[in-house]
Structure 1
Amino acid sequence: MNLAVEKVGDVLIAQLEGQINSANATGLEADLMGHVDKGQYKIVLDLARLNYISSAGLRVVLMLAKRLKQAGGALSLCNIQPAVREVFDISGFLAILPVRDTREDAINSLA
């Protein structure tokens, strides 16, 4: 799993690539929460290159969304691939997390 981050205004874009599973979810969570700890309260997860997410990965996304909400911030997801979208849908996450088609739409939703 690779994580690349960039800033667009006051929004952090986290590009996830590969797979999020029990072997790497803890490290990913630490990386993402580190940004929140440094005052980054608007985050877009760009999932265009993510091809698998396990329940451990779903937990990371949920914990991040919860932490951002508590801090007065927000999370938006974009570019979800069909196989990953199905996991988010089955788990009920699509009903509770904002999902946008494009990175630009996700950034604008947090403005």
Structure 2
Amino acid sequence: MSSRPRSSRSTTLSLSLEERWTLHHVLLHRIEQEETATNATDVDSPPLALFQAFDTVDDGELRFTDAQLEAIQNVLAEYQRSTDWWELERSRIEHLLECVTTALENDRLPAN
């Protein structure tokens, strides 16, 4: 099994207040899915990095490790594809997803 080394670098996202709120809301909703599911076995537990990312946003910070950005990216992609009530926030979720994806791509570029 091959695994790529995880970067220990961290990246600060530049987000508006509305984008911060949306990110906080999406992460909290995802964390609470397991607790609120009718059958908790139907919902996978979020990875630790997602909890850490939520704590970071909840503390008013926006500096994330690559693992946290990947966890955020996965959740945003899931919610971006959702046809539920997230439709009202779709454009903001898409912008957040683009910001996170760009941050991850930039982190993976070789240092000069």
Q: TM-score, normalised by structure 2?
A: 0.29
Higher relative contact order (CA 8 A, sep 6+): 2
- TM-score normalized with structure 1 length: 0.29
Larger-gyration structure (1/2): 2
